[in-house]
Structure 1
Amino acid sequence: MTTAPDITPDSEHRGLVAALPASIRPFALLARFDRPIGWWLLFWPGAWAVALAGGAIARWPLVCWLLLGSIAMRGAGCVYNDIVDRDLDASVSRTRSRPIASGAVSVKAAWLWLSILCLIGLLVLLQLRVDTAILAVASLVLVAAYPFMKRITWWPQAWLGLVFSWAALVGWLEIWGTLTLPGLLLYAGSIFWVIGYDTIYALQDREDDALVGVRSSALRMGRHVRAGTGICYGSALLLWASALWLHRPDPLVWLALLPTALHLLWQVMTLRPNDGAGALARFRANRFTGLLMFLACLVVGTPL
């Protein structure tokens, strides 16, 4: 087993999680509460949709509910993923310290914790219209299938894109009342964004993934990973620009998207595929991509 010196363990005792009682801490780590980047990335597409649809100000409580739902359901997704992947996780340097793989949390206790997180998600669903809630629940089919994608396809990142972008459809339907083309384009653009940033994330695991037979876009792209990531980000920007333009055909769209485009360009141009720590830093920088895109949607979507 090869262990790179700059690999960051997937479960870390830090921040507020480190202050929790020792008996509770493994469950917080299991839900990745020590790594808020995950729920930020899940939250932003929904926030974009609400903002572009014109509801960010009038429906600000909805944005807060989406944030709570993102925290709970991202945590639930991580618990489920770790239950399914516990044997694989034990074979990978970055993930062998995860609570289930390391034995800190039993599988039975993990299922109970998963149920509690899902109940919080149910509370969020009750704040939505019936058709929106049904759409949100439909994503669970994709969530359940995701852990198996890395075993059957070189592009599990594309499946993750379907999952992590779903909130864009939920937010758009809740505000607009129907899934129109701008909302669908926003969703499609988010899928390419997720493929891009999760390919960067997967660079940390290329050696271990190859050894244990796990597939990823980072392995598939090989030495072209930077160009491939650039194509994904470029596709995302094109689809987002189309969504914003269809919603409001105004030159303001291009100006509003410029900071997001420059930030993604910086990620691609400074990416070093063999630098695990640098790849992790660029992956985490996507929380700012989400914020910049939210501001763009807020500017374009807010009525004058």
Structure 2
Amino acid sequence: MTADIVPDTEHRGLIERLPQLPRDLAQLARFDRPIGWWLLLWPCVFGVWLAGAGPQFALIGWFLLGAIAMRGAGCVYNDIVDAKLDASVARTAARPVASGRVSKKVAWGWLIFLCLIGLLVLLQLRLEAQIVALASLALVAAYPFMKRITWWPQAWLGMVFNWGLLVAWTQLRFDNWDALAAIYAGCICWVIGYDTIYALQDREDDALVGIKSSALRMGSGFRGGVAAFYAATIGLWGLGVWLYRPDVFALLTLLPVALHLTWQVATLDPEDPANPLDRFRSNRWAGALMAIACFIIGNAGA
């Protein structure tokens, strides 16, 4: 493994074949770690499929492009802001900006290009959905600074990463806001849970350089903390489902995702270096299970 390929790269073979600058730009946007755009995409799919307008594959395709581009843009922005902090943490020291392989000027140019792709996606949406999408920019801009001022940056990340749920819903309908609010709150708890698992990898380094996280805040009670947030996730999703379609069958569609989150907590082992990352990545399947539930609930009887 070359020194500039980070440990959690998923597509190592593909990334290693690229010339140095394209490789660095791909890593900067985390194209080598698709779990991020999966987790950004799934709430969009929740909103689309729960709205009950059918599969809407073309719309989901635009959301997929937007998730890849804007997750990439967010990562580039985060790495520009956090360059000094990243250089102090073993897991992130090899990142292109932190290591000095990519200048901040080049990184800003790459960020603008990715945002232009995001703009293309934005223009495919109705005006109301565009306004909702643009309202997230302040949250996105503030996120990299949250780890400096609060022990719960994961909560802020939850608001950012699940904004697509609100955008997708607004694209298709304008009612049942109580149900949507409950599902959005559940999604935030889901992010706090899975990003706490992810942060377990960095607890020692974060403590040394003064970065705050929910994993550090929970301390040795991290397992109970993650379990509590996952329980809140299912509870709030259940509330949202009941407000939207009050029948027991609709609630039962949440059972597979509830079992999956339970499995994550039961098998979480921070002493195994690969375990937290594996459990974190498994949330792409948790998102898929919730998406299926949303499709069944939204389209039942349609």
TM-score (structure 2 length as normaliser): 0.95
For residues 204 and 195 of structure 1, the distance between their equivalents in structure 2, rounded to whole angstroms, comes to: 15
Structure 1 unaligned residues grouped into runs of 5+: 1-7
* Residue 146 (structure 1) aligned with residue 146 (structure 2): no
Q: Which position in structure 1 is the counterpart of 2:106?
A: 109
Overall identity of the aligned pairs, in %: 62
1:132 and 1:125 map into 2 onto residues whose CA distance is 8
User: Hey, what does 2:12 align to over in structure 1?
Assistant: 14
Out of 46, 60, 79, the position equivalent to 2:76 is 79
Task: Extract unaligned runs of 5+ from structure 2.
Answer: 1-5
Q: Which runs of 4+ in 1 moved over 6 A?
A: none
CA deviation vs aligned residue, 1:127-173 (integer Å, no higher than 9, x gap): 11111101101111001000000000000001000100111111111
Q: Are the structure 2 counterparts of residues 179 and 18 from structure 1 closer, same or farther at C-alpha, using a change threshold of 3 Å? A: farther
Are residues 1:156 and 2:156 paired? no
CA distance in 1, matches of 2:165, 2:10: 30
Q: 1:55 aligns with which of 48, 53, 56?
A: 53
Shift of 1:276: 2.9
In 2: Cα distance, 1:15 partner to 1:142 partner = 35
Q: Name the residue aligned to 1:198.
A: 195
For the pair 1:118 / 2:115, whether they are aligned, the reply is yes
- Could you say what secondary structure the match of 1:24 adopts? helix
Give the whole-Å Cα distance in 2 for the aligned partners of 1:117 and 1:252. Answer: 42
2:70 and 2:16 map into 1 onto residues whose CA distance is: 22
1:4 maps to none
Q: Which amino acid aligns with 1:55?
A: A
Q: Is the 8 A contact 2:41 2:164 kept in 1?
A: yes
Q: Is the 8 A contact 2:70 2:115 kept in 1?
A: yes
Shift of 1:11: 5.5
Q: C-alpha root-mean-square deviation of aligned residues, in Å?
A: 1.4
1:97 aligns with 2:122: no
Q: Match of 1:28? A: 26
Is the 8 Å Cα contact of residues 9 and 97 (structure 1) preserved in structure 2? Answer: no
Per-residue CA distance 1:162-213 (angstroms, 9 max, x = gap): 1001111111111113561111111111000000000000000000000000
Contact 1:189 1:236 in 2 (8 A): yes
- Is the Cα contact below 8 Å between 2:176 and 2:244 reproduced in 1? no
SS of residue in 1 equivalent to 2:254: helix
Which SS does the other structure have where 1:33 is aligned? coil
The answer as to 2:272 corresponding to 1:275 is yes
Q: Which residue of 1 aligns with 2:261?
A: 264
Q: Which structure 2 residues correspond to residues 209-228 of structure 1 after superposition, within 5 A?
A: 209-228=206-225
Moved more, 284-293 or 18-27: 18-27
Question: Does the 8 Å CA contact 1:9/1:93 hold for their aligned counterparts?
Answer: no
Paired position in structure 2 for 1:177: 174
Q: 1:300 to 1:178 in 2, by over 3 A?
A: closer
